[in-house]
Structure 1
Amino acid sequence: MLNQYFTDLHIHVGMSHNGKWIKIPTSRRLTVCGILEEATDRKGLNIIGIIDALSPLVLADLKMLIEEGVLVSASSGGYIYRDNTLVVLGAEIETREVNGGLAHTLIFVPDIQTMTTLSTYMSQYIRNINLSSQNAHMPLKQLIQIASGFEALIIPAHVFTPHKSLFGVCCQRLSHILSDQDMGKITAIELGLSADSNMADRISELAGYTFITNSDAHSLDKIAREYNIFSMETLSFQEIVKTLSRTEERQVIANYGLDPRLGKYHRTFCRKCGFTDNQAGLNLDTCCPKCRSNALTKGVFERINEIADYAEPHPPAHRPQYCYQIPLEFIPGLGKKVMAKLLAAFDTEMNILHYATYEALSTVAGTKIANFIMTARVGTATISAGGGGIYGRMLNIVDK
């Protein structure tokens, strides 16, 4: 029997248990223990990926939790927290192509022993192995060869963003920098906050890959702002392998992500005057139409238009539904006090976002907040697009 699991595989660690920074700038509350509690108790996730496990500081914290029995080894890889949350160990590694473009890739392994060995091996390439997302000073092709030797899951991260991504700054096609054999070792593709499946399915070479959407959380609040539903038998690393490879009926049955317009790199943006291109698409060979400067950051929307094979998406038969999920933090007027009432009534954010009825939401938070949550749930919200590092926003009726 297959079960459904809420999954976010891209959560960063900000600080170690003994107070040493791992990712700057992030929150001091973003520790391994803080992530486990937030993801389980508040968010309602079933599977989480702890990124930055390549750092010896994070490995030490994980080993401590394993020794204390807080994390228990799953039979086929990964670790179980409080009986119902699977923790998988990952690393986000930065690579550099010959054109100077930088990209991030997620690497997952089944256990702490394998991650410890990988950390020791990668320390010869990474200058400060204790910190997050360090440049390995190698092209993706070499990283794939190394990671596959550890039987790792290999997932290029936020692949369209204008900074540190494959399609954003490294190449127009994976085949330009990777062999067919290398491409075959890629497990899945992470879309990023400013893109969705329809946008990515305009590129023909991505048709064979499973798409996933993750939070890339740099704070506890951002956990599960994007997530997936995995359909698999039990909580284990090997079940994730089957799910991402779509074998034995395992599969990703839904991606829940921001409407791309809420992403902070969706549209072309002028860093000097704040102009955002919300129209048909700006020709980036020209200067900003508002201030006439050359300080434009190309948006994901414009980049995909530039490199796409198809004018419209060509989704393969295996592609699951992409559901626009607006995080509760984007809901206008939903402050900490109202959020506390909602959590007291419905236990987790997953329950609020997916299962609470309009009547129940209205009783707890009022009709205005209930209306916002329901429009966000069904994808009919009015949104002002983001760009250049500034998130889009869900509009209140008075903003229109």
Structure 2
Amino acid sequence: MFYADLHIHSKFSRATSKDMNLENIEQWSQIKGIKLIGTGDFTHPEWLREIENKLNEAGNGLFTLKSKYRLNLPEACQNEVFFILSSEISCIYQKNGKLRKIHLLLLTPSLKDVYKINHALNQIGSLLSDGRPILGVDAKELMKIVLELSPETLIIPAHAWTPHFSIFGSQSGFDSIEECFEELTPYVYAIETGLSSDPPMNWRLSKLDGLVLISNSDAHSPAKIGREANVFDTEINYNSIAEAIKTGKGFIGTVEFFPEEGKYHYDGHRTCGIRLSPKETIKRNYLCPVCGKKVTVGVMHRVELLADREEGFKPPQARPYFSIIPLPEIIGELKKTSAQSKTVLEHYSKAIHSLGSEYDILLKKDLREIEKFDASLAEAIKRMRKGEIIVEPGYDGEYGKVKIFGEAVETTIKGQSLLF
């Protein structure tokens, strides 16, 4: 069994850290506990040159970092990391009288396939301007082009519920996969749920029952790697991983970011300090109860509009998931300081050296071992594992908050079952 984060970005993507190079990506994958990581951005010529120069083909459709580029790590985190060729494409086009902005994640088995795909896409638009290229092509047509050149490539709708850039986005998406991909819909085997939604939200749509729900970090900086991931129980090679995504066999479940932390999870009006659930918004006719103006509609509302099942429904084929709070955030709460502070980073480093990778600490490590290192950290992780956390959903551009201790305004206690 291993963890896989299939969607990240390189330093050549817009608004991405210059530290997103292959050396740091491998190092942070080990720190987090990720065994399989996407390369990201294989469409970008300069990034592709780095992939060619710094990675070795492992002979299984995957790649490893050449030893001369490897960075030092705590012994407790040292583990071989494999790379899978991945990239994200932004398709912006008109369809059925509406502007569409759909992001697609591509997973590809070989550099030979990448060369063919890049050559074809370069005829449509520039691949040099951004690691996530913006192409004026219909998402269905892009799928057709890619599959004709590389039938083994997987094409997955990325962060499916993001308002502005996704297949179900409220601003520029569709109401169904069929509306987007038409006759090519059978080639959509999975969707990426994104940071703003989790499996239970997607279970409410019966039309998604045949799809595997994957989760990835979409990381723009090394420390964000693994904030979401997938759990596989397969051989570590491209064909086995692709088959698990296509059929669900060997796909165990996902590790999730709490979607409530997203800044557009709920509806609301930030100016008036009003946060509303979708049902409350509909009941109030989409108007702010304080000023009477239209509220900003969030991701949860979009799910509510498309859902044909009640909240809490769990289909028979549903896979387990576990929502985590990043370890620096937990330490930050315990230390009563920012997760990015020097104090937190020093304690995080000590925890990793003493206990192992972040995923080991959050998901697997015996609480008695953690207690020997830090009793308060052990208590916090115990509560997180049980889902005994306090949530304030984000709304109208205001990020949500997830806490383990203390009181919060308009809170809910979010329960969950253990993944393992």
The more displaced of 274-283 and 148-157 is: 274-283
The offset of 1:349, in angstroms, is: 0.7
- Give CA deviations for 1:256-284 in whole Å, capped at 9, x if unaligned: 10222123331124365554325843138
Match runs of 1:180-329 below 5 Å: 181-233=183-235, 235-246=236-247, 250-270=249-269, 272=271, 275-278=274-277, 280-283=279-282, 286-294=286-294, 296-312=295-311, 315-329=314-328
The offset of 1:211, in angstroms, is: 0.8
The offset of 1:102, in angstroms, is: 0.7
| Selected match of 1:27 from 17, 36, 43 | 17
- What's 2:56 paired with? 72
Structure 1 147/395 Cα, relative in aligned 2: closer, same or farther at 3 Å?
A: same
The offset of 1:230, in angstroms, is: 0.5
- Give CA deviations for 1:47-81 in whole Å, capped at 9, x if unaligned: 1112211101110101111xxxxx33233312134
- Give CA deviations for 1:345-374 in whole Å, capped at 9, x if unaligned: 11211111122222222332332x322222
SS of corresponding position for 1:61: helix
The offset of 1:125, in angstroms, is: 1.7
Residue 177 (structure 2) pairs with residue 174 (structure 1): yes
SS of corresponding position for 2:163: coil
- What's 2:7 paired with? 10
- What's 1:19 paired with? none
- What's 1:95 paired with? 91
- What's 1:350 paired with? 359
- What's 2:350 paired with? 341
TM-score, normalising length: structure 2:
0.84
- What's 1:43 paired with? 32
| Partner Cα separation in structure 2 for residue 330 and residue 182 of structure 1 | 42
The offset of 1:132, in angstroms, is: 2.3
**Would the aligned equivalents of 2:270 and 2:395 in 1 still touch at CA under 8 Å?**
no
TM-score, normalising length: structure 1:
0.88
The offset of 1:206, in angstroms, is: 0.9
Alignment gaps of 5+ in structure 2:
68-78, 336-343, 409-420
Structure 1 276/23 Cα, relative in aligned 2: closer, same or farther at 3 Å?
A: farther
The offset of 1:315, in angstroms, is: 4.5
| Partner Cα separation in structure 1 for residue 120 and residue 299 of structure 2 | 34
The offset of 1:229, in angstroms, is: 0.7
| Partner Cα separation in structure 2 for residue 26 and residue 6 of structure 1 | 23
Structure 1 128/197 Cα, relative in aligned 2: closer, same or farther at 3 Å?
A: same
The offset of 1:31, in angstroms, is: 1.5
Aligned residues: 378
| Partner Cα separation in structure 1 for residue 290 and residue 103 of structure 2 | 33
- What's 1:384 paired with? 392
**Would the aligned equivalents of 1:162 and 1:298 in 2 still touch at CA under 8 Å?**
no
The offset of 1:389, in angstroms, is: 4.3
Identity %: 28
| Partner Cα separation in structure 2 for residue 336 and residue 123 of structure 1 | 42
Query: 1:355 is aligned with what amino acid?
Result: K
| Selected match of 2:374 from 353, 361, 365 | 365
**Would the aligned equivalents of 2:270 and 2:398 in 1 still touch at CA under 8 Å?**
no
- What's 1:18 paired with? none
- Give CA deviations for 1:290-331 in whole Å, capped at 9, x if unaligned: 44444x432111111111122246554433112222222332
The offset of 1:134, in angstroms, is: 2.3
| Partner Cα separation in structure 2 for residue 130 and residue 154 of structure 1 | 22
Cα RMSD (Å): 2.2
Structure 1 292/32 Cα, relative in aligned 2: closer, same or farther at 3 Å?
A: farther
| Partner Cα separation in structure 2 for residue 321 and residue 59 of structure 1 | 35
| Partner Cα separation in structure 1 for residue 351 and residue 290 of structure 2 | 43
The offset of 1:117, in angstroms, is: 2.3
Alignment gaps of 5+ in structure 1:
15-21, 66-70
**Would the aligned equivalents of 1:160 and 1:166 in 2 still touch at CA under 8 Å?**
yes
**Would the aligned equivalents of 1:95 and 1:103 in 2 still touch at CA under 8 Å?**
yes
| Partner Cα separation in structure 1 for residue 258 and residue 406 of structure 2 | 21
- Give CA deviations for 1:143-193 in whole Å, capped at 9, x if unaligned: 1111212221011011012120111131111222332x3111113110011
SS of corresponding position for 1:399: coil
| Partner Cα separation in structure 2 for residue 396 and residue 231 of structure 1 | 31
Residue 61 (structure 2) pairs with residue 84 (structure 1): no
| Partner Cα separation in structure 2 for residue 7 and residue 307 of structure 1 | 29
| Partner Cα separation in structure 2 for residue 385 and residue 183 of structure 1 | 33
